[in-house]
Amino acid sequence: MSHPDRDGDPADPRSRSGEAASASGVHAGPGRVLLILSQEQVAALRAVLEGYRAYAFCQLLPTTERNERLRQTQRLLGWLHELAPPPGSQCWLSLLPDERGSLQHVLQVIREQPALRDRWRRELQVLAPLFGWEDGSS
Amino acid sequence: MGFWHHLFRKRRRAQARAASSPVPAGTTAAAEAPAAPEQAGPVPLTQRRYLDDIPYLLPKDPLEDQRLNYQHHALARTLSNHYLAPLTPGIRTILDVGTGTGIWAFEMQALFPHACIVGVDVSLQSLPQPVPPTCVFVRANVLEGLPFPDAQFCYTHQRLLVAAIPSRSWPGVVRELVRVTRPGGWIELLELSDVIQPAGPATRRLLDWFTGISQQLGFEMAVLRQLGELLQQAGCVEVTSQDIPVPLGRWAGAAGQLLLTDVLHGLGALKDSYCARTTTPPAVVDAMLQEAAQEWEQQQARYVFHAAYGRRPQP
């Protein structure tokens, strides 16, 4: 598929990656990963991604790689903002492999930098079970 | 309106005066960057064209259009995207207030080909001719209200209208943006500031001169630090405010060079207009610009942009 932008075509209905909804009707699909999130985890993930974005704008010089990472973070934030309040206690987030990879990269950056890790220690603890981090924060 | 008539009578008188010189030398863009605004030599103020009876401090002419397109690319490179709000593919209606040359609208159309994108400006003369049919453009002045019913747009975008919106008008303008946005839709504001960090003496002198005159004309830069508060006051929720310190100068590579060129041409265009209202000779401002630009390289300066986005609440 050719895209007008390196991001791809976010409005292409065929690429509704990460289309998020609560409850039923959402399937992982080929190559996708479903993240099952509690409301608390949604809030933690939003806080961490917003924080990473602010950090990147302030601390990292504009490069192709930084910009790509920022766009992916922005897209993930879009999905998180669109998550409907779940009828139960959990939301479902369906991610393409590159989105999942981007999310893991951002979280890795945060966990590896003591200042960032300390700033979002509580959020990382909340997210730990989701990503299988053993010590809960780092 | 008395104040504005007075102001723009002054502008027309100013246009008749002799003018100014270009931005400092050595500010061309990097090779891979889009073409910088051309300025082969001094452009007399008499050759710049301004909108009559509209409180807009910058020129409205082909040279300024070129700068606006250049600025668009500089911002995209430094901010990583054409927008900051967490949009999803579902958006179907987008409004661009102060669309200028329409370049933002056209590029958003490429990103969101299923969306209807509407651009609004007080003058449509900067649009490419013939106007590509992919977007719709409407002539309107946001200071007088937008010609749309309530709740029309999924996403309303407005940026870099500091030279077009007097400080006292900001709250009303933001309320108007919220009014035309659908419940659950996003409103985004992006403005430059009067902050360059770190600021040496030449930079402070330069900023003081520009902000002092802007203030006299009713354009208070301080209001731009409150974009998030303005959105909240207008009823928005999930408001995110961010100061983005964008690298300014060749020290930061191609992106810094792009912004440097844009800032110098932008301040150069304002200088033409401001010098005509003061006793400061253009050559003095040029010298201030050159000194400041040197500081930016030495001190690895960053120009702070203010951004905020928020959501119109669901009923």
Per-residue model confidence (pLDDT) at position B66: 87
Written as six digits, the tokens of B81 are 């995207």
Residues 220-249 of B with CB under 8 A from A: 238, 240, 242, 244-245, 247
Which of A7, A19, A50, A67 to probe the B interface (max B CBs under 10 A)?
Answer: A67
**Average pLDDT value for chain B:** 84
Q: Which of B86, B87, B89 shows the shortest C-beta gap to A16? A: B89
Domains of chain B: 2-18+48-311 (3.40.50.150)
Q: Are strands A33-38 and B237-247 parallel, antiparallel or unpaired?
A: unpaired
Asked whether B138 and B160 are in contact (CB, 8 A), the reply is no
Which residues in chain A have Cβ-Cβ distances shorter than 8 Å to B245? 57-58
pLDDT tens for each residue of A58-117: 999 999 999 999 999 999 999 999 887 666 678 888 898 888 888 999 999 999 999 999
Distance, in Å, from the CA atom of B232 to the CA atom of A29, rounded to the nearest integer, reads: 39
B33 touching A (Cβ < 8 Å): no
Q: How open is the CA angle B79-B103-B163, to the nearest 5 degrees?
A: 75
**Minimal CA separation from A129 to chain B, in Å:** 26
Element (H, E) at B237: strand B237-247
A112 touching B (Cβ < 8 Å): no
- Which residues, including other chains, have CB under 8 Å from residue B204's CB and lie 6 or more apart? none
Question: Within B133-226, where are the H helices?
Answer: 170-179, 201-216
B80 touching A (Cβ < 8 Å): yes
Asked whether B263 and B296 are in contact (CB, 8 A), the reply is no
Element (H, E) at A120: none
**Minimal CA separation from A134 to chain B, in Å:** 31
Which residues in chain A have Cβ-Cβ distances shorter than 8 Å to B88? 10, 78-79, 81-82
Element (H, E) at A37: strand A33-38
> Looking at per-residue confidence, does B271 or A20 come out higher?
B271
pLDDT tens for each residue of B191-222: 988 899 999 999 999 999 888 888 888 888 88
Percent of chain B whose predicted confidence (pLDDT) is above 90: 58
Which residue from B minimizes the CA distance to A57?
B244
Q: What is the pTM of this model?
A: 0.82
Minimal CA–CA distance to A76: which of A132, A19, A28, A24?
A: A19
Q: Which amino acid is at B20?
A: S
Which residues in chain B have Cβ-Cβ distances shorter than 8 Å to A4? 110-111, 113
Number of residues written out for chain A: 138
Distance, in Å, from the CA atom of A122 to the CA atom of A131, rounded to the nearest integer, reads: 15
